Amino acid sequence: MPFRPLSVGPPTLCDVTFSAPGAAAPQLNGPHRPAPGPAADEGLARRLRALACTAPLHDLDVRKANLAGEYGVYAMAEVALAVIDLVTLNMDFDTGADHEEIVAKVLPRVAAQTPRRPAAEHERVARWVLENLINVGSVDRGFRAVYGTFNTDGEYVRRDYDFKLIEEVPGAGGSVYLRATDEAVNVLVGALDTDVTSAQIAAEVKLEVLINRGRLADAQLAAEQARYRTVQYAETLRRTLDATRRNVRAVDWLETVPDMITEALDHVADRYRHENAILTNIRKARDESEEPEHKRRAAELVDIVKDCIRRHTQLQSRLLEAGPLFRAEQDRQAFATPTARSGLDLYGQLVAPLLPLPAERAIRVTDAFFARGTGLRTPSAVRVADLVEVLLTPPMEREHLGAEMPEPDLVATPDDSRFSEEQLDAAMELLDLPADAPRRLSGLLAEARRKDPELPYLVALLAVHAASPPVGTAYRQGEQQLLFAVDDGTELADPEFGGADLIVGTALLDAAGMAADRSEVA
């Protein structure tokens, strides 16, 4: 439990809730420290923000004491990191992770921390951690940290840094999905403020070296890091494509995006080759390894690298779609015939200049738009007499069960079978021949005719069926015997039927032998 010690001393740097900031940054900028230039301060501010991203995790371990019940034994930061891991891994192009899925997947880890506690408590812990990572209680569902910097005039300014770790995004059909934010991915991977591409290359190289030296535990870590990077890369592309669909001009398709696509395609090709090589290596390591623990780890690693390759392939197909998408959108958006009049460019002339303004000034513009852009409402006037009546009317009783089902009117269908059950029984009895005494069809028909004038038809029918007995089915079902009929060339002499006078008999099947065969085949 590497995060235990953190729960002892809460960081004094930042206040992660929305309450007023307490003792904040002064200790970092001591009284005798000369005001540094803004450039020097920039790096400090960046690190302060990075540090702030970890604060919600420490905060969980601090606040677990306030929960009703004995929750001190749970390592909350560990659960939180596991949750962020799971959310990140479940992020795909189109959707994020589902709430319930994440809770379900993190439960084994929570349960492993305290195997003796009830499952309901484990679930409560998992949900508490997830909700706190989203920060459900706050309006923005995010975190705020306060830190101080010196501005260009050398003046000390306290600033708010707002960030989220897990955000909720709308999915298909009104559902809500979870996504790990860039901040969360950075905290998780531990590569704060680094370039995506180079970090991935570094991770790959590290992985290869580790595998060559046989250090698989570290190799798995590196492989997982590589996968987070891949996900992050895909996310950047997805956003760019979304923006292009809305407005081609909002995205720099002249240089930035083509460069990014070229770079990403190179990157995918490179990674693909790389990871296939790694895959081969690990497979070898997996097959050759003697130690079961190594074998298991290598097998896990194979899965991870396979997943990486899958994600690369997905990224590549999206990359290849990007060019045609741009051209189609350009056709749609830019080459439409211009109308004679031109109008107000709502985005370029209103939304875009508005967003960088300070909120208190921007609000004047949005208020003006709202006042004129919402249309009209006819005020509703209520007569006192109606109001009294409405207020005094008891609420409508709702029928819980809905309307009564009508009794179905069933009509008995006439039995139109050619033969009755009794006739079938009689025929079967007649055909229940001893295995060593087959009989001619003519004799059977004559005997049947004595019992019932209709019966010969049924016997003839069954005998004809027996001419091609379902041996395979009987074999599979383990039947003991089977009715068969053979034509030996004798003509049938009968007043009602013509054809061959079949020899009808019963063949015994070797049930035990068949069973043995079956088990052998299986």
Partner 1 sequence: MTEYDADEVPQPDPASGTGEAGWGARAADAEPAPAGPAPLTPADAADAARLVSFGLQPKLLPARDAEYAELLRRYRDEPAFARLADAVAAGLGLVVLEVSTRAGMAVTAAEDSVFAVRMGDYARRASADSADRFLHGLAHLAVAALAFPRPEDLADDGYIGRITVNGVDAFVRQACRRLEERAEQDGHNTDPATDAPGLESAWRVYARRSATGATKDARRLAGSTTGIIAKAVTFLVDSGFLQRTGDDAGGAYRTTARYQLQVRDMAGSAAMAELLELGVVPVADGSATLLPGEDTDDLDLVAGAGLPFHSG
- CA dist., res. 14 & res. 481, Å (int): 86
- CA dist., res. 433 & res. 441, Å (int): 12
Angle at 360 between CA 354 and CA 364, to 5 degrees: 60
Q: Kindly state whether residue 334 participates in binding partner 1, applying the rule CB under 8 A.
A: yes
Q: Kindly state whether residue 321 participates in binding partner 1, applying the rule CB under 8 A.
A: no
Residues 154-183 interacting with partner 1 (rule: CB under 8 A) = 157-162, 164, 167-170, 172-174, 176
Out of 23, 68, 112, 355, the residue judged to bind partner 1 by CB under 8 A: 355
Residues 7-36 interacting with partner 1 (rule: CB under 8 A) = 21
Sign of CA dihedral 414, 418, 422, 424: negative
Q: Kindly state whether residue 351 participates in binding partner 1, applying the rule CB under 8 A.
A: yes
Residues 251-290 interacting with partner 1 (rule: CB under 8 A) = 252-254
Nearest CA to 114 among 70, 54, 65, 172? 70
Q: Residue 157 Cβ, how far from partner 1 at the closest point, in Å?
A: 5
Q: Kindly state whether residue 134 participates in binding partner 1, applying the rule CB under 8 A.
A: yes
Nearer to partner 1 (CB atom), residue 147 or residue 233: 147
Nearer to partner 1 (CB atom), residue 142 or residue 456: 142
Angstrom distances, CA of residue 298 to CA of 109, 289, 312: 21, 9, 21
Nearest CA to 505 among 479, 474, 484, 475? 484
Q: Residue 173 Cβ, how far from partner 1 at the closest point, in Å?
A: 7
Q: Residue 297 Cβ, how far from partner 1 at the closest point, in Å?
A: 36
Residues 369-428 interacting with partner 1 (rule: CB under 8 A) = 369-379
Q: Kindly state whether residue 69 participates in binding partner 1, applying the rule CB under 8 A.
A: no
Q: Kindly state whether residue 128 participates in binding partner 1, applying the rule CB under 8 A.
A: no
- From the list 183-191, 305-313, 357-365, 514-522, the region that binds partner 1 by CB under 8 A is 357-365
- From the list 87-95, 153-161, 225-233, 271-279, the region that binds partner 1 by CB under 8 A is 153-161
Q: Residue 390 Cβ, how far from partner 1 at the closest point, in Å?
A: 21
How many residues interact with partner 1 (rule CB under 8 A)?
85
Q: Residue 17 Cβ, how far from partner 1 at the closest point, in Å?
A: 14
- From the list 138-146, 214-222, 264-272, 296-304, the region that binds partner 1 by CB under 8 A is 138-146
Nearer to partner 1 (CB atom), residue 162 or residue 266: 162
Sign of CA dihedral 194, 197, 201, 203: positive
Helix axes of 99-113 and 119-134: crossing angle, nearest 10 degrees: 120
Q: What are phi and psi of 303, to 5 degrees?
A: -60, -45
| Buried b / exposed e along 339-357 (16+ C-beta atoms within 10 A) | eeeeeeeeeeeeeeeeeee
Query: Binding marks (x or -) toward partner 1, 203..242, rule CB under 8 A?
Result: ------------------------------------x--x
3-state SS class at 434: coil
Out of 30, 338, 434, 489, the residue judged to bind partner 1 by CB under 8 A: 338
Out of 6, 64, 85, 142, the residue judged to bind partner 1 by CB under 8 A: 142
Out of 8, 68, 112, 359, the residue judged to bind partner 1 by CB under 8 A: 359
- CA dist., res. 369 & res. 363, Å (int): 10
| DSSP one-letter code for 136 | T
- CA dist., res. 481 & res. 167, Å (int): 69
- From the list 218-226, 263-271, 313-321, 327-335, the region that binds partner 1 by CB under 8 A is 327-335
Nearer to partner 1 (CB atom), residue 168 or residue 452: 168
Q: Kindly state whether residue 489 participates in binding partner 1, applying the rule CB under 8 A.
A: no
- CA dist., res. 109 & res. 196, Å (int): 30
129 contacts 83 by C-beta, under 8 angstroms: yes
- CA dist., res. 94 & res. 98, Å (int): 13
Nearer to partner 1 (CB atom), residue 330 or residue 442: 330
Nearer to partner 1 (CB atom), residue 38 or residue 438: 38
Residues 70-99 interacting with partner 1 (rule: CB under 8 A) = 99
Burial class (CB in 10 A: 0-12, 13-18, 19+), 86: buried
Out of 55, 75, 82, 146, the residue judged to bind partner 1 by CB under 8 A: 146
DSSP calls for 332-348:
HHHSSPPPSS----III
Pair type for strands 97-98 and 176-180: antiparallel
